[in-house]
Amino acid sequence: MAPEVMRAMHKCNIYGLMGKRPRLTDEMEAFRSCNDRAMAQSGTEFEKPELEVETLSFLVDLFCRCTEENPADRPTAGEIYEMLFARSSNFICSGN
């Protein structure tokens, strides 16, 4: 949800959403900042298929771009559609 929409919502509505949004944001930021080398050094096993990791990384990046503080920095609905379409076309063309 856009930050300005969150600020404009009535307080009772915000309280219902705020319990979910920070947790999701924290988890996505943690995923965005992790890399295989850091996980290997920590001893954590990270055995996800490469396509799944790439897809999650793409979605995390898209989420972060869509929730930028400045609305001008966010992608438009058309840009999001094009990104998702291109991503799904690559997925289908690769035979996965």
pLDDT of 34-61, one tens digit each?
A: 555 555 555 555 555 777 788 888 888 8
Distances in Å between the alpha carbon of 63 and those of 29, 45, 71, 92?
10, 25, 13, 22
Retrieve residue 63's tokens.
């989420």
Query: 57 or 10: which carries more pLDDT confidence?
Result: 57
Mean pLDDT (the chain, rounded):
70
What is the count of structural domains for the chain?
1
Q: What is the pLDDT of residues 65-79, one digit of tens each?
A: 988 888 899 999 999
Confidence bin at 18 (pLDDT 50/70/90)? very low
pTM: 0.52
Residue range(s) defining the domain that contains residue 84:
3-93
